[in-house]
Amino acid sequence: MFPLQRNRRLRANESIRSLVRETTLSPNDFMLPMFIAEGKDVKVAIPSMPGIYRHSLDNTIKEIKEAWNLGIKAVNIYVKVSDHLKDNKGVEAWNKDGLMQQTIRAIKDAVPEMIVMPDVALDPYSIYGHDGIIENGQLINDATVDALTRMSLSHAEAGADFVAPSDMMDGRVLAIRKALEENGHHNVGIMSYSAKYASAFYGPFRDALDSAPVDSQNIPKDKKTYQMDYANRIEGIREALLDVEEGADIVMVKPGMAYLDIVREVKNAVHVPVAVYQVSGEYAMVKAAAEKGWLDHDKIMIEQLYCIKRAGANIISTYFAKEAAIILNK
């Protein structure tokens, strides 16, 4: 009761604020998403994501070393697949000499302690831009799970520390876990995109990989039959719990800022680390507003990352990782 309690005493200066601060943020919390392209000395800007590029493998290794020196311990990698390698079944996804597999090996050779979590989904490899195999205008769950399992095994054999299924097929975590165990990859973990919503925030990412669903009368125009309805809360918790039962070591909520209620609910429900993906649209919005002079870029960036951590995230996958690490390291 006032005046016995004056809460402003604990806000009087930065020293006391730092001393009683409930949430801390460091580069150890970040995972850096990276886009990989074919070729050599390639650095292609992504217009809808200022400051983000598709890098060829040689330049990717330079980026990896820079990230490691900043204190970033994990990367989530995605590949830009050439059109001639795309089909409906994603066969290139488990090519042992494919771009993703080459990238995993190169990163682990260059910086062995960097945690590599390659994306497991068929959309970069699909002629239809979907996360799975299409038959008669529908995405087929079980055949897709078989393809994802083969893809995951190829990642494990290339040296991935974790595989990261982002497809939202039913039963894929269990199938992947069984396959990893049966093939001796006992120490390869699974970071499952458990509560992945059908969000409009993904637009710039699809520009980066040229992986948007094709516009055709015979093909689903969006991903709402497998990604989650953003009106739902309990469904996200159920998905996370099921993935843990099936063997997920880490569960992810995606997107980030607009879904922090889901992050907290999932954090309260599971007993494994929770990752959050601050997605491309969230990144692009901050960049655009800052370019207009409407927001202070660095302050908004750090505030958002703190909010994600406060909500319960153990890992934050963010395109801001390097910029934020530089500020935090100071």
- Annotated binding residues: 239
Q: What does DSSP assign to residue 83?
A: G
Taking Cα atoms as reference points, which of 207, 220, 222 lies closest to residue 80? 207
Kindly give the interhelix angle for 297-311 and 280-291, rounded to the nearest 10 degrees: 150
Cα separation, 77 vs 290, in Å, equals 27
3-state secondary structure of 14: helix
| Element containing residue 277 per DSSP (H, E) | strand 274-278
Q: Which residues, other chains included, contact 261 with Cβ-Cβ below 8 Å and sequence gap of 6+?
A: 233
Cα separation, 164 vs 188, in Å, equals 11
Within 10 Å of residue 80's Cβ, how many Cβ atoms? 18
Instruction: From the candidates 80, 254, 267, 309, give the one annotated as an active-site residue.
Output: 254
Instruction: From the candidates 80, 196, 223, 267, give the one annotated as an active-site residue.
Output: 196
**Total number of residues shown for the chain:** 330
Q: Is 178 a catalytic residue?
A: no
Binding-site residue set for Mg(2+): 239
Taking Cα atoms as reference points, which of 33, 12, 61, 63 lies closest to residue 316? 33
Q: Cis link prior to 118 (omega < 30° from 0)?
A: no
* Composition of the chain by helix, strand, coil, percent to 5: 45, 20, 35
Cα separation, 25 vs 231, in Å, equals 30
Cα separation, 286 vs 194, in Å, equals 26
Q: Is 299 a catalytic residue?
A: no
Residues annotated as part of the active site: 196, 254
